[in-house]
Amino acid sequence: MENTNPEELSFEEALKALEEIVDRLSNNANNLDEMLKLYARGVEYLKRCQAKLGEAEARIKILSEELPGKIQEMSNGS
């Protein structure tokens, strides 16, 4: 998944890729240049995860704002 564009991934795919990078960095089996490349790639996946979470938060906020009115309409209409 390392060659995949993070923008094309779902939240779950980006999170899995990020976890894999963290594991690889934790093993310290890489040279410094490779570790820096992995770190930079991890930042890209992290940004994707944050963006997807922000989108979800915005959708939840919109739905939550609509919900009280819908509940009142339903209770008044019964």
Query: 52, 65 in Cβ contact below 8 A?
Result: no
Please list, in sequence order, all residues whose beta carbon lies within 8 angstroms of the beta carbon of residue 56, skipping any fewer than 6 positions away.
11
Report whether pLDDT(37) > 90. yes
Please give the pLDDT value at position 54.
Answer: 96
Query: How many domains does the chain contain in total?
Result: 1
Please indicate, yes or no, if residue 30 is contained in any of the structural domains: yes
38 or 2: whose pLDDT is higher? 38
Please indicate, yes or no, if residue 55 is contained in any of the structural domains: yes
Query: 35, 27 in Cβ contact below 8 A?
Result: no
Of the pLDDT bands very low, low, confident and very high (cuts 50, 70, 90), residue 3 is: low
